[in-house]
Amino acid sequence: MTKMLVTGGAGFIGSNFVHYTLKNRPEYQVTVVDKLTYAGNLANFDGVMDDITFVKGDICDDALMDKLVADTDVVVHFAAETHNDNSIRNPKPFLDTNIYGTYTVLEAVRKHGKRLHHISTDEVFGDLELNDPNRFTETTPYNPSSPYSAAKASSDMLVRAWARTFSVKATISNCSNNYGPRQHIEKFIPRQITNILSDIKPKLYGTGEQVRDWIHVDDHNAAVHLIIDKSPMGETWIIGADNDHVNNKAVIEMICDLMGKGKDWYEHVNDRPGHDMRYAMDSSKLRRELGWQPQYTDQNGMVEGLKATIDWYKNNEAWWRAEKEAVEQAYAKQGQ
């Protein structure tokens, strides 16, 4: 058995990664460390709690991280503060967890000589103009826009520095916007699905022309496993499923349509300050060198994945209902 420590495993992508690993990679013995912030949820382990070791803890706690990393073979580092709108309301937790927390993880893997895979985002590259046909690659310079993306960019830089200076065995992946089950309802797609299920009109920021390169969370996690299996140390990998033709307005219309509402049953609300216009990812290195292929690639890019995601929120109302009112009240204060 290989021991795997998953930081932030009680959140959206991390919990899907844990489920994916238990189902497809039984050779891993999984430990999750998670602070259980508002974004972490033990219900994400329903049905698999007995198959993992769960530790409630903060990645900024160096004694805890030292102990956990000493007792593992590979660390997969998902833990972060992740919502741009929250980083605009209050940046400090983003600096603490994303920067100092990553430093703490790095010092532990350095001391114990363990393998690290660091999960990052396309947002470190900043944005493209709407009419710019280019895509981000592994060599695109960093140019983050928000406190969230600046903190993630900082964490990537720390990983690169620790790999070069201290020969830490690390890899990094930068993935585009994920969707799928168990995503917090503050985020765009689950917010709109649960709005419709609550008879609230979906909320589109500004004009809705912004483009996100959507990828299903299982395709992201399959790529992470391939990188852990096959990547040389020190490498960075772009992960994206070629969905950079769908803007936010089109996604909202798709959700309204799939949920039996008129395509225009949504409203425009205040835009996000500093709102990135367009993200687009060139994942050809990952496809060519590691043989990765996304599975959710129907003709319209994301209809099948969206249908399954809508069904998940319909069937799991107990998972999200209690938080819905407070999330919407916080948005309403900003006219969103």
187 in contact with ligand TDX (CB under 6 A): yes
327 in contact with ligand NAD (CB under 6 A): no
Residues 296-325 that bind ligand TDX (CB under 6 A): none
C-beta of 28 vs 237, nearer to ligand TDX: 237
Q: What residue ranges in the chain does DSSP mark as E strands?
A: 2-7, 28-34, 53-56, 74-77, 115-121, 170-175, 178-179, 203-205, 215-216, 236-239, 267-269
Residues 119-178 that bind ligand TDX (CB under 6 A): 121, 123, 177
C-beta of 119 vs 256, nearer to ligand NAD: 119
210 in contact with ligand TDX (CB under 6 A): yes
Cα–Cα separations (whole angstroms), residue 75 to 45, 109, 115, 151, 227:
19, 8, 6, 20, 13
**How far apart are CB 176 and ligand TDX at their closest, in Å?**
7
- Partnered with residue 117 across adjacent β-strands are 76, 171
* Known catalytic membership, residue 38: no
137 in contact with ligand NAD (CB under 6 A): no
Q: Which residue is nearest to ligand NAD (CB)?
A: 11
241 in contact with ligand NAD (CB under 6 A): no
Q: Please provide the DSSP assignment of 11-31 as one string.
A: SHHHHHHHHHHHHH-TTEEEE
240 in contact with ligand NAD (CB under 6 A): no
Q: Give the list of residues 6+ apart from residue 98 with CB closer than 8 angstroms, or none.
A: 80, 81, 148, 151, 152, 154, 155
C-beta of 37 vs 53, nearer to ligand NAD: 37
**How far apart are CB 110 and ligand TDX at their closest, in Å?**
25
Cα–Cα separations (whole angstroms), residue 86 to 82, 148, 174:
8, 8, 21
What does the block give as tokens for 261? 């509402």
What does the block give as tokens for 320? 């999200």
**How far apart are CB 199 and ligand NAD at their closest, in Å?**
26
Q: Please provide the DSSP assignment of 175-240 as one string.
A: E--EESTT--TTSHHHHHHHHHHTT---EEETTS--B---EEHHHHHHHHHHHHHHPPTT-EEEE-
Residues 182-201 that bind ligand NAD (CB under 6 A): 184
Q: Which of 21, 31, 40, 243 binds ligand NAD (CB under 6 A)?
A: 40
70, 60, 61: which is closest to 102 by C-alpha? Answer: 60
* Known catalytic membership, residue 148: yes
Cα–Cα separations (whole angstroms), residue 203 to 165, 248, 274:
46, 10, 18
C-beta of 116 vs 327, nearer to ligand TDX: 327
278 in contact with ligand TDX (CB under 6 A): no
182 in contact with ligand TDX (CB under 6 A): no
Residues 32-91 that bind ligand TDX (CB under 6 A): 82-84
243 in contact with ligand NAD (CB under 6 A): no
Residues 91, 93, 95: CA angle, nearest 5 degrees: 75
* Known catalytic membership, residue 122: yes
The item of ligand TDX, ligand NAD, none sharing an interface with residue 14, based on CB under 5 to 8 Å by kind, is: ligand NAD
- Which active-site residues does the annotation give? 122-123, 148
* Interacting residues with ligand NAD (CB under 6 A): 7-8, 10-14, 34-37, 39-40, 58-60, 78-82, 97, 101, 119, 121, 152, 175, 177-178, 184
